[in-house]
Amino acid sequence: MSKVLPPRSVRTALAFRSAREGAVAVEFALISTVLLALFAVVLDFSIMFYAKRDAERASTLLAHALTSCPANTTTNTLLAWRGTDCVTATMNLLKDRIPNVLVNFPDVTFGMASIQRVGDVIRMCPGNMTYLESDMQTSALAVLKDKDAGALAYLTITYKPFLPKLIAQYLIGSSTTFREYTVDVRGNGDAYACAT
């Protein structure tokens, strides 16, 4: 009696199942794809964290630079020109240099304000901002006491992920915006009143 062989497709499937020569390469290809995608996501989140940190740090440094000015003097101040006080002059110097400092973020927007608390109101001094948003006013009222003069600096940095759009859309979105601001005290009394 002759032996009945299974169909050719079944024999091929059985031979493929028992072969082990390329199994490691296939497993590596599957696992490495997932690991590389995971690494890219972790890297993107890390860079996003550093973007937020850079925005916080830059706003703090800007506010400290503005509050380092002495009491209002338009004379004997190297930074004063055209009748402006030291804070306004420092703002004018810094506004053109901020994009050069934050070169990794070409979409940076920023603002600087010289402010003074009078009672329960924050008064805007001459500068490049005309109003404060409500959270900035609340923070300024918490930091400044009556007749204190101070400075506020804010930055908005838009971070665009480097991951492919398909992955970024589901994990991070097309972009993330960080808005950071810092209020710092400059001094108290009439010597620090807003320059007119």
Structure confidence by residue, pLDDT tens digits, 54-83: 888 888 888 888 888 776 555 444 544 444
> What's the count of helices (H) and strands (E) in the chain, helices before strands?
6, 4
Question: Tens digits of per-residue pLDDT, 100-123?
Answer: 777 777 778 888 888 889 989 998
Mean pLDDT along residues 118-130? 84
Range of the domain at 102: 10-192
Name which of 168, 120, 114 is nearest 141 in CA terms.
120
pTM of the complete model beyond 0.75: no
Structure tokens at 61: 């440094």
**Whole-angstrom Cα distance, residue 129 to residue 85?**
16
Name which of 12, 10, 187 is nearest 87 in CA terms.
187
Cβ-contact 181, 153 below 8 angstroms? yes
Domains: count for the chain: 1
* 3 within some domain: no
Q: Which helix (H) or strand (E) holds 91?
A: helix 86-95
